């Protein structure tokens, strides 16, 4: 498998180097040069596989022959062995043809574990094969950071620095990151928004001398490895609901567009997916685009669903590249103008293509609380705020003849204040995290200043001999 940049000015890489590179050197995102395909017969043969078995087969489509399928199977089995539900990604029925797929049974109680646990093993395997060490940097709006830290803590091959917006994550989200005290982990609370954190990560990659000095890599969903590792759960749900002989639709609460891009990728490789629906909070740039072709940046406002408090949806660039028929020059120009003018000018013909299969809906915090309350009362189902937004969006767009699956992205106990406000109950943390509030924290608070951030990343790398 070979990977190209959406901006067309970076080297073409194989899977291993794409994984280690994260962001392309021209500021673009890597995407497969050609899309692998699964036939209907191949999909039928995958019915009945365990989740790790299916994941190995799907991820192998994106690694090609670089990683033997037997090795991938071993890595997948190790990755999901610690999940606290036997099905790993259980499918729950709420109503006729209305389902929730729970993606929060991993160690940090969020869907990010689905990809990050596997990425931890993939990085270690590839780095061991190459005899290399790297520095991982990432930005998080809440869940990516803790999932990355949990997956990579204690590794001898890499260090991890995670930037999170100071005071803008839930306490559970923050503590899941800052109570990990391994020497290869560095937590920075940035005085700013998630978009500031993401911009700092991109600026570090754009600083070529620094990037090379610390052997920089990324595990945000700008890294294609993250997307590849998320595709399997969409395939798994589709197979359970009758694919390839029956279509299925998905609703994804998303701010950065990565999780729904994995669903779109499942469709690109041959899974019969009907609609893809985006659920947004009042930071609704994706929904505004899908409804009105308005992709203009507005100020980020805190919400009950902080993982979606985002205005710059990095992964949208990959979809744009495809909608532009892979015209990298036009993609680069649109993205550069977007950052310059805080508004993306999408030709009407491209917008029409996007809205054929993508739909969107935004909910206020008050509406989100009402949905949490409704499903707790009517179905005894406790949804976190992000998942509640997804369920409401699914209700709006579902065709009662086609199964509609909302991916449940976080355990309700990660957002106890919102749940208590909506239902009057406080969800308990699972036993493994029961003492979370008593654990010692370790993090720095720094301004959104590139030099100060780079100094901190460099110090952690040196301390770990990188």
45 is a catalytic site residue:
no
> Would you tell me how many other CB atoms lie within 10 Å of the CB of residue 456?
17
Using CA atoms, how far apart are residues 58 and 111, in angstroms rounded to an integer? 18
* Cis bond upstream, residue 244 (ω within 30): yes
Output the six-digit token pair for 45: 């043969």
- From the list 112, 202, 359, 414, the catalytic residue is 112
Residue with tokens 């106990």: 413
CA distances from 13 to 63, 202, 209 (A): 11, 19, 21
With tokens 């949990």, the residue in question is 150
Residue 371 makes CB contacts below 8 A (sequence gap 6+) with 363, 383, 388, 389, 391, 392
Eight-class DSSP state of 270: T
Say how many Å lie between the first and final Cα of the chain, rounded. 29
**Whether the Cβ atoms of residue 435 and residue 187 lie closer than 8 Å to each other:** no
Q: Give dist(CA 137, CA 35) in Å, integer.
A: 28
State the DSSP code for 65.
G
Active site residues: 112
């Amino acid at each position: 498998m070979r990977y190209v940049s959406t901006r067309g000015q970076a080297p073409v890489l194989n899977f291993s180097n794409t994984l280690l590179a994260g962001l392309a050197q021209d500021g673009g995102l890597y995407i497969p040069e050609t899309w692998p395909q699964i036939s209907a017969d191949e999909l039928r043969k995958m019915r009945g596989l365990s989740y790790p078995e299916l994941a190995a087969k799907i991820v192998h489509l994106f690694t090609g022959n670089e990683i033997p399928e037997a090795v991938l199977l071993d890595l997948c089995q190790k990755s999901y062995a610690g999940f606290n539900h036997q099905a790993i990604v259980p499918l729950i029925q709420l109503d006729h043809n209305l389902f929730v797929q729970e993606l929060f049974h991993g160690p940090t109680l969020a869907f990010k574990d689905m990809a990050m646990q596997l990425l931890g093993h993939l990085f270690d395997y590839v780095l061991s094969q190459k005899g290399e060490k790297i520095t991982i940097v990432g930005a998080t709006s809440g869940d990516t950071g803790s999932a990355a830290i949990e997956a990579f803590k204690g590794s001898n091959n890499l260090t991890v620095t995670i930037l999170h917006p100071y005071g803008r994550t839930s306490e559970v989200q923050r503590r899941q990151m800052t109570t990990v005290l391994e020497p290869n982990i560095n937590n920075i609370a940035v005085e700013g928004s998630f978009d500031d954190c993401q911009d700092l990560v991109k600026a570090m990659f754009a600083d070529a001398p620094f990037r090379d000095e610390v052997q920089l890599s990324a595990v945000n969903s700008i890294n294609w490895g993250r997307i590849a590792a998320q595709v399997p759960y969409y395939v798994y749900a589709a197979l359970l609901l009758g694919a390839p002989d029956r279509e299925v639709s998905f609703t994804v609460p998303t701010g950065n567009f990565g999780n729904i891009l994995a669903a779109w990728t499942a469709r690109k490789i041959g899974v019969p997916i009907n609609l893809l629906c985006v659920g947004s909070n009042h930071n609704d740039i994706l929904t505004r685009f899908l409804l009105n072709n308005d992709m203009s940046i507005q100020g980020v406002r805190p919400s009950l669903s902080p993982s979606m408090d985002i205005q710059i949806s990095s992964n949208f660039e990959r979809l744009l590249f495809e909608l532009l028929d892979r015209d990298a020059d036009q993609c680069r120009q649109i993205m550069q103008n977007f950052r310059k003018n805080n508004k993306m000018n999408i030709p009407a013909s491209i917008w029409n293509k996007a809205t054929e299969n993508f739909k969107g809906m935004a909910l206020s915090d008050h509406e989100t609380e009402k949905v949490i309350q409704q499903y707790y009362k009517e179905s005894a189902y406790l949804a976190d705020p992000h998942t509640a937004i997804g369920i409401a969006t699914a209700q709006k767009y579902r065709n009662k003849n086609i199964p509609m699956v909302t991916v449940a992205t976080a355990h309700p106990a990660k957002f106890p204040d919102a749940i208590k406000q909506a239902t009057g109950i406080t969800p308990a943390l699972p036993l493994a995290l029961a003492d979370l509030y008593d654990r010692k924290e370790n993090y720095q608070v720094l301004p959104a200043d590139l030099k100060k951030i780079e100094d901190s990343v460099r110090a952690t790398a040196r301390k770990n001999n990188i």
